[in-house]
Chain A
């Protein structure tokens, strides 16, 4: 039972509460649902951070974007800058949960929850995002690859709050996030993949690939990226990189799928993500979210 609850409008007040042991809550789409499922008790001390204006919103910076931690998935998915230059992030944000989840669920919450299936982590890993965290002591910046450490665990220290995410633009690149699931809404990835592909003079000059729900944490796949670099980014190259990624993953068997099926599908979602990203890099239209438009594709 929650005994203490505050909803400050100033970041300093929220940081003081977090330093005092309060759990931050924004949309509550993981925290409260987890309580109802019996995963954990309702925290005794909560601080709502959704009224802090400086934590919400998407702001252009010199080389990219600053995205506030309490920016909703719906706002990410509908932002024209994200749709154009960080398209995989829009693909992912557009298919988290349901319309209701996307309305209240937040970027910071998705990252702090550190699910192996976290929708936004793959795109942000491929964009080399930097996570900015604050505490009463000060601010520090964490590379996205060092945030999640295990399912449900992060490298955040006691008293630290995610305040925003920085992403830099990648010229001449396209990106794509593809998720395999049982249904289109209210779904968690069985497997998913993100690709960022840059093409210069007909040759892949930027290749970034991340796997989701295929290991304890969402992670990049350097071997698959190397395999794709220097190719034409076409179907044969995408298939080859997908196979390399499938060999690199560490799938588990659970209620949703067997490890063998996940490994086989890893190759498929990586191939589709690469082809979607390459198509976008060439200026071809691939609708957002890519998963829905690729539904049933080969």
Chain B
């Protein structure tokens, strides 16, 4: 199955030739925004020790997991640029991190009828939510 994802980035690159490179950081941010579904998350013992303190066990996504991401820019300059602002410039790579998990959460809820209300939204948590839902006579 091919995975595709869209990513709409509110940004303003001004008019200084930024258009050529601004498409680079945006998929990175969107891919990072996908981590809340693919990562394993912090696992804590009952007394609060982290059980997976190394990157061997604290699994993040790798390049192999990130789907192809289409980037569309919404060119709206920042209104409150202030004295340090230049031509209404905005951040570019961080914004796609923030709405992506919410969009994925809504997509999961729309597709399955159950909400996963904790991060990371792992397959096991979705399975638990579906299991609980079916036992309760829901979806």
| Pair A183/B38 contact, Cβ less than 8 Å | yes
Binds B, one of A213-221, A233-241, A256-264: A256-264
> Which of chain B's residues has its CB closest to A265's CB?
B127
Question: Does chain B have a CB within 8 A of A171?
Answer: no
Evaluate contact between A33 and B56: CB separation under 8 angstroms: yes
Residue tally, chain B, CB below 8 Å to A? 24
5 A-B pairs with the lowest CB-CB distances in the bound complex, closest first: A184-B64, A296-B1, A185-B64, A261-B124, A255-B43
| A255-B51, A255-B52, A296-B1 known; A184-B124 Cβ under 8 A | no
Give the docked Cα–Cα distance between A157 and B31 (Å): 48
Q: How many residues on A have C-beta within 8 angstroms of the other chain's C-beta atoms? A: 20
Cβ of B39 under 8 Å from chain A: yes
Question: Chain A's nearest CB lies how many Å from the CB of B83?
Answer: 45
Q: Given A37-B56, A183-B59, A255-B43, are A295 and B124 neighbors across the interface (CB < 8 Å)?
A: no
Task: Specify the main secondary structure of chain A where it touches its partner.
Answer: loop
List the interface of chain A (C-beta within 8 A of B): 33, 37, 98, 180, 182-187, 255-258, 261, 264-265, 295-297
Contact partner of B3 (CB less than 8 A), chosen from A37, A183, A265, A296, is A296
Tell me the bound Cα distance from A257 to B43 in angstroms. Answer: 10
Cβ–Cβ contact A261 & B127, under 8 A: yes
> B54 at the A/B interface (Cβ < 8 Å)?
yes
- On whether A183 and B51 interact (CB within 8 A), knowing A256-B40, A257-B124, A296-B1, the answer reads no
Is residue B8 within 8 Å, beta carbon to beta carbon, of the partner chain? no
Q: A residues within 8 A CB of B40?
A: 182, 255-256
The CA of A37 and the CA of B56, in the complex, are separated in Å by: 9
Further contacts, 20 of them, CB under 8 A, given A184-B62, A257-B124: A37-B56, A180-B123, A182-B38, A183-B38, A183-B61, A185-B62, A185-B65, A186-B62, A187-B59, A255-B40, A255-B43, A255-B51, A255-B52, A256-B40, A258-B124, A264-B127, A264-B131, A265-B127, A295-B1, A296-B3
Q: Closest CB of chain A to B33's CB: distance in Å?
A: 16
Q: Give A296 to B39 CA distance when docked, in angstroms.
A: 16
Residues of B within 8 A of A295 (CB): 1
Residue of B nearest to A294 (CB): B1
CB distance from A280 to the nearest CB of B (A): 19
Bound-state Cα–Cα, A261 to B126, Å: 11
**A27 CA to B60 CA in the complex, in Å?**
25
A264 vs B126: C-alpha distance in the bound complex, in angstroms?
13
